[in-house]
Chains A and B, each alone.
Chain A
């Protein structure tokens, strides 16, 4: 029940938003988002961290003829991503308190729908259900960027939509193929991931046109666009720059993780041989993404675009971590997903805050902000440190483990990736220097519009993020412990991946369980 509640509660909230009068929308939305977060924290108590099995399973047949079911389950891979989603939503609501000043009803409804779709895609254990949630998330995001965005929002939102859509159609095809493969193998169509894992998909090394390779690339394309990986990343800067602050936060914070989560959940376990065989390609693209993202971020004139490109760089780390295919890399990637959600989300929030004050994001027009907004500067620098992975912040743990994993998998790539550590510091600190230090810039100097430091609300927004930055940096074990069993199982048994269901429910209808019973 719990998972359904967590997934569908925001949908109900979205409906609530639609009937409420405009005046009370924000407080109520905040309250409801906090309630949702509190509910999601119940997961921590009911989750058995010792078990790698999927837990709290719910399965209701949906299209029984095709073996599609409403199948939710959680394990160590998805647990924290769900909580990250529910955690960021109240922050976004509070953070958009004044930034979104028109159509707030629609905005909050969209936000909650988005939340449902994101949580749903993290929890779905049925490929079709996953696909539904995965695609559903595009719609509210499309509106968020398209309605509340900046000057070129239509271009950005269409680009975002088409890029993502193009990839996921490939994935849909692949899912359908797998469903038929289930029919051929088990005698009945099934969209359950548990069945997909059991499929033996033929793989021929060194040859492109074989089922596993094609499926691997079909899934990979969908997720790589979402992540985004290097050559297909260009939607991200545009979408981020044009998106409103909350949109950017959700986009960077959670939606990109849907891509990397997809790799973790679908690509790596299902297509074990292919992902092993083509790991070099993804390592290469990931490393290129890290360096390329960092270099391009360095020369951006727009703060938000800079952060957007830094996302490309950071997600490159996640990708190389995943494709290092060992415990360190994969744990690091999972951890880096959370880090990136928190630190990049926080950066976008901070940029939103300054944008609200000056209505400008051009780095050249800033300067000396530290004098005018000291508290803001302190928080910004803390978040920057997290972003460039200074130890004691969360970023370090993730990057360290990823690089460790990559080093084990491939030294040259690791050495290349390490340059990202330097470049990350370069672009972030250069930006910090130009924006915060030096003599007061054009916007800061403006006597008519004196800048005010963060108010109580904005501090409230940032406080949990800052706390998490340090908590995750100082006590990563708390977070890693929940995922350890799953990740361990994942890494050790990836070639022959199976997920058990715990506690075993005899009424489960999917082929997998029947198969196990025989």
Chain B
């Protein structure tokens, strides 16, 4: 928590920025989704409004904003209106708990006639030191928005969709959480910074039955230590975000549009934002746990800082620190986008499951494999410690 006005202001701005990042990435993602979908289906997609159809987003946004808000006759207002808002909260809070870039240090400086600093800032909304636990806890609240929407709409399709969605979320949360146990055991910490720090640098070094091996051409990423866990986590996150092939809650053929059948306009947009926020959180976690977080493979963190300060981009060390952090943030964003692309790719690649198949997959396949992964990792760790 902040100590003086500057710090408080910066923190608040940071919070706002993170929220805005989430919100503002959504139109881009929607565009991307449409374009990629079109590409995969061998058609054009939006290409008339603006270059490459980029302005289409703006048009959509305007349309959403100006659509008439309507309310189902027998709906319950508190629920109905609360649900979209509730949809935003988990994504935003979870994203805020993930470090988006390297922390940076500001030297003491003079501004507006007084001395400020020195400061240490993190590229993260808040850090309680237990990282992933809070992220998981917060994102598990996502189910309420669905349930509230489903119940508040007074529509049986909505209700069914909501129930399906929340059951799905609760079920897959288990696999999701358990799949992370393995990697947490490998890194032996909850702190995101420690986890990223352990993934920094080259080469991939590991201990195999007391003997240290290293593979020179691979980065030190978590995916190599716990590939099974990564796979389960990734699959489970599809279900957690209600994306295809697990988008049963809004299975058009059966439930019209699931829990947001009765929504339109800005409220619907908020659900979309929530959903994409969820996807972003999942991608960010993926990147953080398994792909080195904000670090750049083959490049040492120090060399980025050196490059910024020596390359003349910024002369003042404070600005250099900030820029360095920004570069890491962009790298992180890139990684996140890569995973989001995979989400979109998968959407048009795999068919939808049946609901019972979904539940079977969650409880009878993923959960046991996640448990197995935990045990496997434990055994492996018992015999060969990672040389850190």
- A–B in direct contact per CB < 8 Å: no
Residue numbers of B with Cβ under 8 A of A are none
Residue numbers of A with Cβ under 8 A of B are none
